[in-house]
Amino acid sequence: MSASQSAVRSRAEAVKVSRTFDWMILFTLFFVVLGGYHIHYMLTGGDWDFWTDWKDRRLWVTVAPIVSITFPAAVQACLWYRYRLPFGAIVCVLGLLLGEWVNRYLNFWGWTYFPVNFCFPSNLIPGAIVLDGIMLLGGSMTLTAVVGGLAWGLLFYPGNWPIIAPLHVPVEYNGMMMTLADLQGYNYVRTGTPEYIRMVEKGTLRTFGKDVAPVSAFFSGFVSIIIYFLWHFFGRWFAKTDFISSENL
């Protein structure tokens, strides 16, 4: 025993303190991840997530999962290996979505008056639950990376389709055909986002004809596997306790 006295006097008190720590850690984790993940996603996914006229079947489907599997992989590594808690992915995504909704609602709509039906965030929750579920059921990083990473990429488009499909209904506008999402982008003037910076429907997957979304999703899933490994190791490194010797604990 060390010279210092124990801070708690009974088992009941120990349980209470431990529980208090639980809430504090979870609360802090949630908001710190929310902040970091949100900034990361904004810088990498940015406009693809901001506007419906960027949510296409090629690039959005490819880019969004790849850049968003990062934090879930890292936090999962930390929570699983240190605590066997399989909610790393969902806690990240719930945080991200809360931050995004606050931002879109208060700033995009409340401050700048872009309609919410034009600037809502992408749904990442199905992929997060499956990623956590596979981690729990398999208990293996490799399995989670391969099966979970692929699922993360594959579930993204169908998970968002019920929300964006209504905006892909075509309309004839002054002699041109466009989707309602294109029309939103045209109607609701963005001075800082001219049409040419919109990266949609570009790429070399032309031979697949109109069935390009599943191909993009598969590709995205494969890259997500690699990114998962990478960020998983970041997470494990971050969760290391080597630098604290056990005597001090």
Position among 48, 71, 114, 231 found at the interface with other proteins (CB under 8 A):
114
Position among 64, 67, 74, 183 found at the interface with other proteins (CB under 8 A):
183
Position among 1, 4, 12, 194 found at the interface with other proteins (CB under 8 A):
194
Kindly indicate which of the ranges 63-71, 82-90, 214-222, 227-235 contains the residues binding other proteins, using the contact rule CB under 8 A: 82-90
How many residues contact other proteins, by CB under 8 A? 109
Q: How many CB atoms lie within 10 A of CB 151?
A: 21
Cβ proximity to other proteins, 93 vs 227, nearer residue: 93
Give the separation between CA 184 and CA 114, rounded to whole angstroms.
10
Calculate the CA dihedral of residues 107, 108, 111, 116 and round it to 10 degrees.
-120
Give the separation between CA 75 and CA 89, rounded to whole angstroms.
7
To other proteins, the closest distance from the beta carbon of 90 in angstroms equals 5
Query: Any contact of residue 195 with other proteins (CB under 8 A)?
Result: yes
Query: Any contact of residue 181 with other proteins (CB under 8 A)?
Result: yes
Position among 11, 12, 172, 244 found at the interface with other proteins (CB under 8 A):
172
Query: Any contact of residue 143 with other proteins (CB under 8 A)?
Result: no
Cβ proximity to other proteins, 39 vs 226, nearer residue: 39
Give the separation between CA 186 and CA 168, rounded to whole angstroms.
14
Give the separation between CA 115 and CA 245, rounded to whole angstroms.
54
Q: Which of residues 25-44 bind other proteins (CB under 8 A)?
A: 25-28, 31-32, 34-36, 38-39, 42
Q: How many CB atoms lie within 10 A of CB 50?
A: 23
To other proteins, the closest distance from the beta carbon of 12 in angstroms equals 13
Position among 140, 142, 143, 187 found at the interface with other proteins (CB under 8 A):
187
Give the separation between CA 180 and CA 157, rounded to whole angstroms.
18
Contact predicate 216/58, CB 8 Å: yes
Cβ proximity to other proteins, 73 vs 89, nearer residue: 89
List residues bridging with 112 in a β-sheet.
none
Nearest-Å Rg of the Cα atoms of the chain is 22
Cβ proximity to other proteins, 29 vs 230, nearer residue: 29
Cβ proximity to other proteins, 136 vs 230, nearer residue: 136
Give the separation between CA 101 and CA 113, rounded to whole angstroms.
14
